[in-house]
A and B are shown apart, each in its own frame.
Chain A
């Protein structure tokens, strides 16, 4: 499947079916993230149930503490 992640077209493996899978794929599952799919912010409890489709526009921002 091909997604547009943070403005870049990215091919992801077939195992990636949900937002939760996508975060795990990028090893972001333990980071504090905000995820938007097609301009809708996904709540954390919806990660496992929000399915991704070919061409979806995904924005991922992860929080860091340093300053």
Chain B
């Protein structure tokens, strides 16, 4: 028995057999913020085979209160979250293969992973429903379970969606959430994060050891400040006409029209812009370009950050950019094209 996992193996529903299964599994984590870092650490300590982490952002000081894998040095360097997370996770458990992807989790990216890598599980740690509906489509199209999790303030909720066993997120929502509804600016306390991580991770372990009968089968929610708890069985909401899990699925969130090029980042006063085609920027050249215009540009191997009065433009190697200090897509685009057109 490997000492490292002895306590987990002593837990009867997992045992030695379960540990072997966990070791063979590949989990894809979408988002490396609060929920992402909590899930990542738990998965890596549990001894999965491979973890893929996708995140489009970099570490900031405001993350350190609850995003458990990051340090002050990461925030100072503005390290991409996927990279900073990988570094820390490799210190925690060198036996686990960690793949870090600095980029957007769009339909193309997730379908590529589904086809080429056939992962065993997706864990949602994103901050928006656009991405969740893409995950939902990819999960049902390729028959790979996924686990929803979200939190704001002292409130949180979670649900596991299993193709061929449970209805999907679209069945539950019935409608597509409008932008403003999904953006939460009410702050967050770390116990709400940890609680959602616990719900997600418990269902993840059941899925990884293939103990299907142990799955909760419920949408759960809690508020740790008002001391409320609710749980709803989801098996009754499956709809035959659902475009994702119904009889004739069309997976609408994977269609070309859904491949949005811009996105307003929740609660961040920032807009992300994706170039029409993937490119590979030489970041030193980009930094030089800004400096020649008399601008203050800072670079690390993954991004260049430049101050533009009350706005800040951050350019990643893949050509993606974040414009901070605005929620206006048109204004953000104007800034992007002025400097990178």
Chain A positions near chain B (C-beta within 8 angstroms): 6-8, 30-32, 34, 36, 39-41, 43-44, 59-67
B17: interface (CB < 8 Å): no
B residues near A41, Cβ cutoff 8 Å = 232-234, 236-237
**Which of A32, A43, A44, A59 meets B232, CB within 8 Å?**
A59
The complex places the Cα of A61 from the Cα of B182 at a distance, in Å, of 15
The complex places the Cα of A65 from the Cα of B267 at a distance, in Å, of 10
B62: interface (CB < 8 Å): no
Would A65 and B150 count as touching, CB distance under 8 A?
yes
Can you name 27 A-B residue pairings with CB atoms under 8 Å? Answer: A6-B228, A31-B181, A32-B177, A32-B181, A34-B219, A39-B233, A40-B236, A41-B233, A41-B234, A41-B236, A43-B174, A44-B174, A59-B231, A60-B230, A63-B129, A63-B173, A64-B155, A65-B127, A65-B182, A66-B127, A66-B151, A66-B152, A66-B188, A66-B266, A67-B33, A67-B34, A67-B149
Residue in B closest to A7 when the chains form the complex, CB atoms = B229
A residues near B125, Cβ cutoff 8 Å = 67
Size range of the chain B interface in the assembly: 35 or more
The complex places the Cα of A3 from the Cα of B298 at a distance, in Å, of 59
Chain B positions near chain A (C-beta within 8 angstroms): 31, 33-36, 124-129, 149-152, 155-157, 172-175, 177, 181-184, 188, 196, 219-221, 228-234, 236-237, 266-267
B residues near A34, Cβ cutoff 8 Å = 172, 219, 232
User: Nearest Cβ in chain A — how far from B319, in angstroms?
Assistant: 25
**Which of B149, B230, B267 meets A61, CB within 8 Å?**
B230
The complex places the Cα of A65 from the Cα of B181 at a distance, in Å, of 8
A residues near B126, Cβ cutoff 8 Å = 67
Residue in B closest to A6 when the chains form the complex, CB atoms = B230
The 6 closest A-B pairs by CB, nearest first: A65-B182, A6-B230, A66-B184, A66-B152, A61-B221, A67-B35
Q: A30-B181, A59-B231, A64-B182 are in contact. List 13 more A-B contacts (CB 8 A).
A: A32-B173, A39-B233, A41-B232, A41-B236, A43-B174, A59-B232, A61-B219, A61-B232, A65-B150, A65-B266, A66-B184, A66-B188, A67-B34
A residues near B183, Cβ cutoff 8 Å = 65
User: Nearest Cβ in chain A — how far from B254, in angstroms?
Assistant: 20
B residues near A62, Cβ cutoff 8 Å = 221
A residues near B34, Cβ cutoff 8 Å = 67
The complex places the Cα of A30 from the Cα of B181 at a distance, in Å, of 8
A residues near B33, Cβ cutoff 8 Å = 67
User: Nearest Cβ in chain B — how far from A3, in angstroms?
Assistant: 13
Would B230 and A59 count as touching, CB distance under 8 A?
yes
User: Nearest Cβ in chain B — how far from A4, in angstroms?
Assistant: 11
Residue in B closest to A36 when the chains form the complex, CB atoms = B232
A residues near B155, Cβ cutoff 8 Å = 64
